[in-house]
Structure 1
Amino acid sequence: MAATMKQVVLAAYAQGNPKPGDFRIEEVPVPEAGECEILLKTLYIAVDPLLRFSVDETVLTGAGRMELGQPMVGPVVSEVIASSHPDYAVGDVVEGRSGWQEYAVLAPDLSDYRGPPRKLDRSLAPVSTALGVLGGPGQTAYEGIVKVGRVKAGETVVISAAAGAVGSIAGQIVKVLGGRAVGIAGGAAKCAALLDLGFDAAADYKAPDFADQLRAAMPDGAEVYLDNVGGEVTMTVLPLLKRGARMAMCGFIAYYGVGMEGPGPDRLPGFYRLIMNKGLEIRGFAGMLAGQQGLEDIARWMKEGRIRFAESVVEGIEAAPAAFSSVFSGHDHVGKLLVRVAAQG
C-alpha cells in the first residue's frame, strides 16, 4: 500500500456555480485503522449535486458547511483493506460517506445518522450501482414515483432532469407501474438516451421549440410531475398539468445558490394562481425515504430486466473537481455521474 494518498479539499467557497479552482488536490499520509475501525480503499466517488449546499459562500440551506482546507465528504463505494471491527472483513465492499480521498478510516460504531457503512451484495449488480440505482438516487426515484407521486397505471408522468441519476430511474419505474413517462432533458443526445431507456417521449429544454415539444409529448396533460429542477422548465410544465395533478418536488437545481429573494421578476403570484386554479397537490420530499423496500423492489425489477441502470464514469480522483462543477454548468453525461478512483481487489 502507498505511504501517501491523494485527497480533494475545499480551497475556496463557491461564488455562483462551483468551479474546479474551488478545490485543491493534496497528498497526505495514508491513515491507519485503530481499535474497532476499518481502513477503506476508495473505489468510486459520487459527485452529488446536494454537496453544493455545503460549499456555497453564503449558507442558504441546513446542510453541514464544509470548512476551508477540509477534504470533501460525500457518498463513496470502498473496499475494506484492513479491519479490527467484528462486522467487517478484509475484502468486503461497502457504501458510506468517507470522502474524496484514496483511503479513509471509519469507526462503524460511531457513524452519523446515516448509520454504519452498508455492506454490498456483489452478486446483485456492479458495486458502483450502490451510488445510483441501488442507492440514494434509486430510493429517491422510488419515493417520488411510488409514494409521493402515487402513480397509477394509465397516468402520464412528466419528469424534469430525466437524464440524471434520479430521473432516469424514475421514468423506468413509471413504466413498471403501467404509466406513460415523458422526460425533459438538455440536448438531442440525452433525449435519445431517454427513449432508449423506455421513456414514451422526451422534450429538449434547450431547444427553441421546447414548449411545443412538451405539448406534443403530452397532448392530454399529465397527472404527475416529478420536479428536479424548478426555474423556467417548471414554469413551462405547470400550465400543462391536469386539474388535481400531483407534483413531487425532488430538487430545485435552477435555484441552487439563490436565497429567499432571487433575481426578479416575482412570479410567485402566478404560481399561486396556478396551484389554486388547477387544485395542484405539491409535496417536497428529502429523498432516500423509500428504505429497504424500495431497494428490494428495484433490485427485483432489474433482475427481471424491467429497469436498466445508466452510469457515466470519469477516471481518477483528480477528475472529481471538474466532474462536480460540470453538474451545474451543463454536461453530456446520462445517469449517475461517478469518479472511479481505484479498481476493486
Structure 2
Amino acid sequence: MSGTMKQVVLASYAKGNPKPSDFRIEQVPVPEPGEREMLLQTLYIAVDPLIRFSLDEKLLSGASRMDLGAVMVGPTVCKVVASNHPDYSPGDFVEGRTAWAEYAVVAPDQSDYRGPPRKLDPSLAPVSTALGALGGPGQTAYEGVVNVGRLKAGETIVVSAAAGAVGSMAGQIAKALGARAVGIAGGEAKCKALLDLGFDAVADYKEPDFADQLKAALPEGADVYFENVGGDVTLAVLPLLKRGARMPMCGFIAYYGVGMEGPGPDHLPGFYRHIMAKGLEIKGFAGIFAGQKGLDDIAGWIKEGKVRFPESLVDGIDAVPEAFSSVFSGHDHVGKLLVRIAPET
C-alpha cells in the first residue's frame, strides 16, 4: 500500500503531568508488511493513563520507557488491510498493542507479553468495547472487585475515579454482584452520569464539602475501597473504611507525575495507623488478570442489561496528544476515552 500517514512520537519527557507539546505529529510513508506480518489500519486508540509510566526520563517503575523520537505505543483496535500471516485475513478486526499511527505493521509471532492481536467479532458488540468493557479496563475492574476485593452481595464498595473506564465498570460489576456502590468523581456532570449507571450514591471531590458528602454516602462505612487515585481523595476515604476492609490498589493517578518522593507533608504515619488500627488489606495489582472468565461474565451482564459501556470519542490522530494529556489535567469525559482514527467501514 503506497502513500503517507501520520504518527505520534515522543518529543520530550514529561515533567509532571504530560502536555500536548511533549508529543509531535510526523508524516511518514505507510509501512509494508513482510513475511508473516500484516498491515493494520488503526480505528481506535486508547489513551490509557498507565502509559504515563513510560514517559519519565529516568525509569521509576514498570518495565518500559519510551526513547525520544520513538513512535508512541498503546492499546488499539485495528482492521487488517493486508496479511502475510495465515491466522489473519484482510477485513479482520483485532485488538492489540500497536503504534499511535494511522497504520501499523505487526508480526503476530513476535508479539509482546500480551500475545498476538486478539480477533474481534463485531456481531457480539461494537469493536471499540475491546478497549473498554470487553478489554483491559473491564478485566481490570473485574479483577479488582471480584478477585482482589472479594466483594460480596450486601457489602459496600467505594470507587475513586469512578467516572473513568475502570471505575465506571467496577461500580457496575459491584451492582451486578448485589453490592452497594458509591462513586467518587469530579464535577456535577460526571456524578450525574454515575447515578445514571446505577451507582447508589456519589461524592464530588471538587466540592468544598467533599468529605461531608462522602460520610453521608457511607453512613456505615465501606467494606472495599477500589483505589485509582491516591492523594486527598484517599485521605478522605481511609477513616470511613470498616475494620478488615479490602483495598485493591489499581492506580494512583494523583502521583503519576511525581518521583519516588513527593511534596510534603508526609502522610505515611497516618496511613500506617489506619492500616494497623483497622486491619486493612491492601493489594496492588496491574489488572488484566481476569481472563476469559471475566470477559464472559461481563458480556453476560451486558446482555442482561446490568452493565453498560459508556464511551467518549474524539476524532483524528492530531487529537491524540491533547486527549492523552487531558486524562491528567481534568476533563468531562465519562467511561472509556478513545480517539477514533478511521471509520470501521
**TM-score of the two chains, using structure 2 as the length reference:** 0.99
Partners of 1:66 and 1:213 in 2: CA distance:
41
CA RMSD between the two structures: 0.8
The answer to whether 1:105 aligns with 2:110 is: no
CA distance in 2, matches of 1:274, 1:98: 42
1:35 aligned residue: 35
1:70 is matched with 70
Structure 1 segment 14-163 matched on structure 2, within 5 A: 14-163=14-163
Measure, in 1, the Cα distance between the counterparts of 2:4 and 2:258: 39
Number of residue pairs matched? 345
CA distance in 2, matches of 1:304, 1:2: 46
Cα deviation for residue 56 of structure 1 reads 2.0
Shift of 1:2: 5.6
Contact 1:4 1:28 in 2 (8 A): yes
Contact 1:249/1:282 (8 A) holds in 2 = yes
CA deviations on 1:95-136 (whole Å, 9 max, x unpaired) are 011110000100101111110000001111110000000000
Alpha-carbon distance, 1:257 to partner = 2.1
Aligned to 2:323: 323
List aligned pairs for 1:1-345, cutoff 5 A: 3-345=3-345
Structure 1 pair 171–108 and aligned structure 2 pair: CA distance change class (3 A): same
1:244 match: secondary structure: strand
Give the gaps of 5 or more residues in structure 1.
none
Whole-angstrom CA distance in 1 between matches of 2:206 and 2:124: 37
Deviations 1:158-189 (A, max 9, x none): 00000000000000000000000000000111
DSSP 3-state at the match of 2:82: strand
Distance (Å, rounded) in 1 between the aligned partners of 2:229 and 2:62: 19
Amino acid at match of 1:278: K
In structure 2, distance between residues paired with 1:254 and 1:329: 10
Give the deviation of 1:33 after TM superposition.
0.8
Task: Give 1:180's aligned amino acid.
Answer: R
Task: Report SS of the residue matched to 1:98.
Answer: strand
Deviation at 1:267, TM superposition (A): 1.1
| Contact map agreement 1:60 1:257 (CA 8 A) in 2 | no
- In 2, Cα distance between equivalents of 1:265 and 1:59: 25
- Detail structure 1 runs of 4+ shifted over 3 Å in the superposition: none
- Could you say what secondary structure the match of 2:236 adopts? helix
CA offset digits 1:8-46 (Å, max 9, x no partner): 000111111110001000000000111111100000000
Contact 1:60–1:258 (CA under 8 A) maintained in structure 2: no
Q: What is the rounded CA distance, in whole Å, between the counterparts of 1:2 and 1:195 in structure 2?
A: 49
> Which deviates the most, 44-53 or 251-260?
251-260
> TM-score normalized by structure 1?
0.99
